[in-house]
Amino acid sequence: MAAAAAAASTSRLLLLRHHHHAAADGSKQQQQLRYSSKPSSLALPRLRLLPAAGALLPDRVTPFSYEEDDESDDHPREECGLVGVVGDPDASSLCYLGLQKLQHRGEEGAGIVAVGGDGKLKSVTGLGLVADVFGDPARLASLPGPAAIGHVRYSTAGAAASLRNVQPFLAGYRFGQVAVAHNGNLVNYQALRNKLEARGSIFNTSSDTEVILHLIATSLSRPLLSRICDACERLAGAYSLLFLTADKMFAVRDPHGFRPLVLGRRRNGAVAFASETCALDLIEATYEREVEPGEVVVVDRRDMSVSSACLVPHRPRRSCVFEHIYFALPNSVVFSHAVHERRTAFGRALAEESPAAGADVVIPVPDSGFYAALGFARASGLEFQQGLIRWHYSGRSFIQPTQAIRDLAVKLKLAPVHGVIRGKSVVVVDDSLVRGTTSSKIVRLLRDAGAREVHMRIASPPVVGSCLYGIDTPSEGELISNRMDLEGVRREIGSDSLAFLSLGKLHSIYGAEAEGYCDACFSRNYPVLPTLPEPVVELEE
């Protein structure tokens, strides 16, 4: 056993990721992971102790910085969406459709890994939207087989999108092939990576997901289920995972249940997993239940048996409340609650706390503010109207040379309905307020359209902390509510009044369940803190 541990500690793990993409020579190469436990025969070089690495977290969770002139939507961004299907001959096509439905969870890269009839795993990944990556029908046609997993992702804003980081990752190690897709973020990523690299592991991506593959490959446990559990016991933070091998699919959720993952079944008996139930609905899979926090669900495609195992001992549930506030589609069920009902309740509670006396009409900021505005209007007895129309085809607004042109670009994305707004006292309901840039533009837009008054109502508490668990949020210095008090924010965005849903009122909506939700972006109460990496030992040539 000691010899095996020594061999594992000196192992070399090399991830070579070659995607099926449109290369100049049209070649298609398969990803593979090579594992060798052969110790080095070289003399031990002199060691030099270096200071600890500066970054506590992987690049994909470091709070990003918006450019000053960036006209992108002023909301946090979900980073990943997952879909998995096993037991259906059209598994990859079903994953493709499911990923289309989860496009809002990641727009910069997409991929699918499928098991072919020969038991070999094949991968197609690429940068861009799902429809762009799989625009060539030959790409999906190259992924036949009864089981597949898919992934959509965002990369860190301000950093160039990299094909190497697009998931699922497909690897080969001494016991066969394994693919993994991950939604979340590991707060001990850098510490784990430092240890693995010190023992000889070689990394080919900047994604924290690659750490999971290295931990599985170097685990001494048997069989693969035990290796997965062994690896996950060393992870800290948020992770919903789908693993695919030649004969099994594994669905894993972290013990706190930060990110969602649900299970459904098609009429032909195929089992499906997804980040949201809207993806199950599209592929005609009936929603059965959540994958529970700390659970591993195993589906054996040979007999379609489904089994479950406990990943780690029970820990307090801390599901992300922002899934209900903004991220998930309103027609999804997330954390066992209908999203549209939660948002309607937020708007109703906001009206009870902060009514807008004398207002004429309530309008939502499309699209995510719709149900909160509807709840506000119903509770306050005010007329509900669509006073802003979002144009969905403008794409990203690149930095423009003058302020006048930048203002016109904003009007391309959001257009006022003058007949609803002109001469009216308008209540504008949005799901959240992050930097305040979008809110200030909306206020100016409505005033230019003839609004007599503009009252902003935000159906969540002030965002004062950055997320550590898989959501791109600005640094705390860029969060307007972290820099200013309520009156300061109101003056900054230019509205006649401003109110947020209080944290206490948000908790009251959930009642006894409130303790089971992570609200660190509002309270700075982080359930899992980052792990400081240990000093790095470097081998000199």
Sorted by sequence, the CB contacts under 8 Å of residue 11 that are 6+ apart come out as 35, 36, 37, 199, 200, 201, 217, 218
Tell me the chain's radius of gyration from C-alpha atoms. Answer: 24
Residue carrying structure tokens 């510490």 = 191
Sorted by sequence, the CB contacts under 8 Å of residue 359 that are 6+ apart come out as 380, 382, 425, 426, 427, 453, 455
- Is 70 annotated in some ligand binding site? no
- List b or e across 133-157, with b for residues whose CB sees 16 or more CB atoms inside 10 angstroms: bbeeeebbebbbbbbbbbbbbbbbb
Which element (helix H / strand E) includes 538?
Answer: strand 536-539
- Is 69 annotated in some ligand binding site? no
- Phi and psi at 129, nearest 5°, equal -70, 160
- 310 catalytically annotated: no
Type of residue at 289: R
- Is 431 annotated in some ligand binding site? yes
Based on the number of CB atoms within 10 Å of its own CB, is 536 exposed (0-12), middle (13-18) or buried (19 or more)? Answer: middle
- Is 430 annotated in some ligand binding site? yes
Asked whether 190 and 56 are in contact (CB, 8 A), the reply is yes
- Is 118 annotated in some ligand binding site? no
The helix/strand/coil state of 326 is: helix
Rounded Cα distance between 504 and 183, Å, is 29
Asked whether 186 and 58 are in contact (CB, 8 A), the reply is yes
Instruction: Report the candidate in 312, 299, 246, 296 with the shortest Cα–Cα distance to residue 271.
Output: 299
Based on the number of CB atoms within 10 Å of its own CB, is 302 exposed (0-12), middle (13-18) or buried (19 or more)? Answer: exposed
Q: Is the peptide bond before 367 cis (omega within 30 degrees of 0)?
A: yes
Q: Which of 80, 229, 232, 278 is catalytic?
A: 80
- Is 320 annotated in some ligand binding site? yes
Give Cα 120 to chain centroid, integer Å: 28
Which element (helix H / strand E) includes 169?
Answer: strand 169-173
| Pairing label, strands 295-300, 305-310 | antiparallel
Catalytic residues, by residue number, are 80
Residue positions forming the annotated binding site: 320, 368, 430-431, 467, 518, 521
Residues of the binding site for Mg(2+): 368, 430-431
